Structure 1
Amino acid sequence: MSNRHNVFISYHHKNDEGYKTEFERLFSGVYDILETKAVSDGDIDPYIKTETIRQKIRDDFIRSASVTVVLIGSETWKRKHVDWEISSSIRDTQLNSRTGLIGIILPTYPRTDTSKYSKGTIPPRLQDNIDCGFAKIYNWSNDSYEVQKWIHEAFKRRKQVNPNNSREMFRQNRSTSSWC
């Protein structure tokens, strides 16, 4: 299987930077799987208008991506930028077609049974898209062949299933213990 994809990585910068780096280290060079892009702290001026930030995310960072991977740690679902990145990824625009979408649950995600997760503690827009069949969610894996398969399946699904982007976008980061 030699399907190379440009992947945009959405994640909680403060908590999960190490896993983003590990994901890139494990998968960028192996089997020619992917090229990655992510918004890093300091890439976008936080004092510009919200709509301008959202447009910059789409046009400057997600533009060349064919699949968006959401790395899900303990507080990822609370982050407004993760919500905006997912929303921007699954939107068809004049300049960009929508990306495929998957979530990967990190080992730091709080749970006692790795076969289950709490819908209320993963990004709500990602859950909406799991529910409608546009996205899938997986546990962290070091197996590059398996991850490549997930990414390629998401790439194919992006044209076969319509995403759900109807949820109102986060205005600010969340602080509750669950969104549902």
Structure 2
Amino acid sequence: MAIVRRKCFISYHHADQDEVSQFVRSFDHEQDAFIARGLGQEMSEDIINSTNTDYVMSRIRQLYLGDSTVTLVMLGKCTWARRYVDWEIQSSLRQGESTTPNGLLAIKLPSYEQGQKDFPDRLNKNLKQNDAQEDCYARWMAYPSTTDQLVNAIEAAYQRRTTHRKWIVNPRDRMGYNRQC
């Protein structure tokens, strides 16, 4: 059976660029597990030159999120503190009459410290918080050890776009500034 390669928007903190680039090289370029969309060395060459954050977010939605179906949040030590990661997750979770949200899957990078529990707040809001909650929208995983493991997790996130969208938590407020890590 052929693998369906989903278009995945890659959200990450640029301090983790080397690990993210290795992830994209390994799983997109070499293993064909997904099609990477986003900003970075291993992805598109399109650069958005502007200091206007509304314009930048609009262009990211148009150029990268618009044709992606799953957002992969690459978790490093300080990912939780980055405003652009929050904004990208917020854009990914948008839904409406003619808008289907992206599936949301977080992946711990190899440098993610053992025992660390700092996820971006908007991601946390979409993860199961306690036993009282029936289910949730997002999932997280350790760094994949096989291509099949990653493909299955991406496909599950893709399916949750319709089967679990009622559990999306996406407040309108967004992070104004990066936090201290």
TM range (shorter): 0.7 to 0.9
Q: Does 1:19 align with 2:40?
A: no
TM-aligned CA distance change 1:82 to 1:148, over 3 Å: same
Please give the residue correspondences for 1:123-162 in structure 2 after superposition, counting only pairs within 5 Å.
123-131=120-128, 133-162=136-165
- Contact 1:125–1:167 under 8 Å retained in 2: no
TM-score (structure 2 length as normaliser)? 0.83
Which residue identity is paired with 1:25? R
Shift of 1:160: 1.1
Q: Does 1:166 align with 2:167?
A: no
Equivalent pairs, count: 168
Match of 1:98, SS?
coil
Gaps of 5+ in 2: 129-134
Query: How far apart, CA to CA, are the structure 1 residues paired with 2:175 and 2:33?
Result: 32
- Identical-residue share of aligned pairs (%): 30
TM-score (structure 1 length as normaliser)? 0.84
1:64 to 67, 80, 98: 67
Query: How far apart, CA to CA, are the structure 2 residues paired with 1:78 and 1:10?
Result: 13
Q: Does 1:86 align with 2:89?
A: yes
CA RMSD of aligned residues (A): 2.1
Query: How far apart, CA to CA, are the structure 2 residues paired with 1:167 and 1:145?
Result: 35
- Contact 1:90–1:165 under 8 Å retained in 2: yes
Instruction: Give the corresponding residue for 1:106.
Output: 109
TM-aligned CA distance change 1:72 to 1:96, over 3 Å: same
Shift of 1:19: 1.6
Query: How far apart, CA to CA, are the structure 2 residues paired with 1:96 and 1:63?
Result: 10
Which residue identity is paired with 2:38? A
Shift of 1:87: 0.6
Match of 2:71, SS?
strand
Shift of 1:24: 1.1
Moved over 3 A (4+): 29-32, 93-96
Gaps of 5+ in 1: none
- Contact 1:12–1:79 under 8 Å retained in 2: yes
